[in-house]
Amino acid sequence: MFKASFLAFVLAAVVPGHSLPSITGPTKTPSTATGRLPALGWNSWNAYGCNINEAKVVAAANQFISLGLKSAGYQYVNIDDCWPLKARDSKTKRIVPDPSKFPDGISGVATQVHNLGLKIGIYSDAGTNTCAGYPGSLGNEAIDAATFNDWGIDYLKYDNCNVPSNWTDASSPPGGDWYNSNSAIRYRQMTAALDSVSRPIQFELCIWGQANVWQWGSRVGHSWRMGGDASATWSYITSVINTNSQHLSSVNFFSHNDMDMMEIGNGALTTQEQRTHFAAWAFMKSPILLGTDLSKLSSAQLAIIKNAELLAFHQDSNVGTPAKPFTAFSGMPSTSPPEYYSGTSSKGVHVFIINTSGSTATKTFTFSSVPGLGTSGNFKVHDMWAGTDLSGTHAASSTFSVSVAPHDTVAYFISKA
């Protein structure tokens, strides 16, 4: 331990680019002028990777309008990695947009996006370089925050690649508090820099679920990644749902566990798997950032991502908490991830059920077991996907059963009859 600390001190003293972390780090908190509700938007990475340019970003922004996504509540058009040149400006030390990709600069793109009534996001990294090898912001936080502010940026995705060894964490943080870990301090430095600029910039901590980020994330940013990069696979969807289901007490206004970008439109996910992908992100109140070429979305896919009732639950201005796992009936077996969730919105009580099995299955819950419903009276059930009430009423002591397709999710609003 002494040797490692001494080496870090020597590196900080004699090696350019190495700085010794402060004992506590800045304690500025994220803006309350943005980020109250989970973000709704689009991110370039899953669609284009490093093959990104101004035309594709502006096209996505215009598709927000033409496809009805803006009307549904989507607002952020976010540029991911690979947008700048590989070297900072030698005089100003600012990151320079690649003029071959962004001939109008990022500020020019921001103007076009803002003129559509939308918001724009950018990407950087809490290391020396981004994941694709472009300039990172570690040690240049103030310069980069000022640059993003000047360009009109509304959202910052802040990644976790190329971290110098003296900024990595020991197996346990100082005093057992991960807020004081080197990882948290790297992100806290950008929080402080963002606090010093005039624009409210929503701050996403893309820290891959490391350093117990759900314990301190809301003191540093508005959302934080709960795991590694998304893939268009059922195994990814169920894995991150399972991880997130264990930390839903961290979710509220200004405080969102991020399960990463949407993969709807990518890969070979079934319609049912895409419904579960969207519904779980909605009822857990993860940011929903579409990650595909929007022009290729089918009408069925657009219907999923524009579902008004699920989006209303996700964007509820009066209730910040997500749906959480509950025991649906006596003797219910446990599954990984949990299959039964309940939550409250401004309207009332909701139940969401995931069929994690690969075959059609009957799912059942007892009304009196649903938190918030009570143990007396009669109830009616409303299908949030279809937007219609189911026939009949149900006593509190009765059970409700539904046949759920493989990997599908049903979503209900339950009210007094």
Q: Which sequence positions are flagged as catalytic?
A: 159, 229
Q: Nearest 10 degrees: CA dihedral of 398, 399, 400, 406?
A: 180
Alpha carbons 309 and 119: distance in angstroms, whole number: 23
Alpha carbons 158 and 206: distance in angstroms, whole number: 5
Answer whether 355's CB lies under 8 Å from 408's CB: yes
Rg (CA), the chain: 23
- For residue 311 the two structure tokens come to 């989006």
**Which residues are CB-contacts of 336 (< 8 A; sequence separation ≥ 6)?**
242
**Residue 331 burial (10 A CB sphere; 0-12, 13-18, 19+):** exposed
Alpha carbons 408 and 417: distance in angstroms, whole number: 27
Alpha carbons 20 and 135: distance in angstroms, whole number: 20
Alpha carbons 225 and 297: distance in angstroms, whole number: 25
HSE (CB half, 13 Å, CA atoms) of 117?
8
- For residue 215 the two structure tokens come to 């314990």
Assess whether the previous peptide bond of 325 is cis (omega < 30° from 0). Answer: no
Q: Considering only CA atoms, which of 306, 188, 178 is closest in space to residue 247?
A: 178
Tell me 76's DSSP state. E
β-bridge pairing 324-325 and 388-389? unpaired
- Going through 89-246 in order, the beta strands assigned E by DSSP cover 119-125, 155-159, 202-205, 223-225
Backbone angles phi, psi at 275, to 5 degrees: -65, -45
Alpha carbons 409 and 350: distance in angstroms, whole number: 13
Backbone angles phi, psi at 85, to 5 degrees: -70, 165
Tell me 214's DSSP state. G
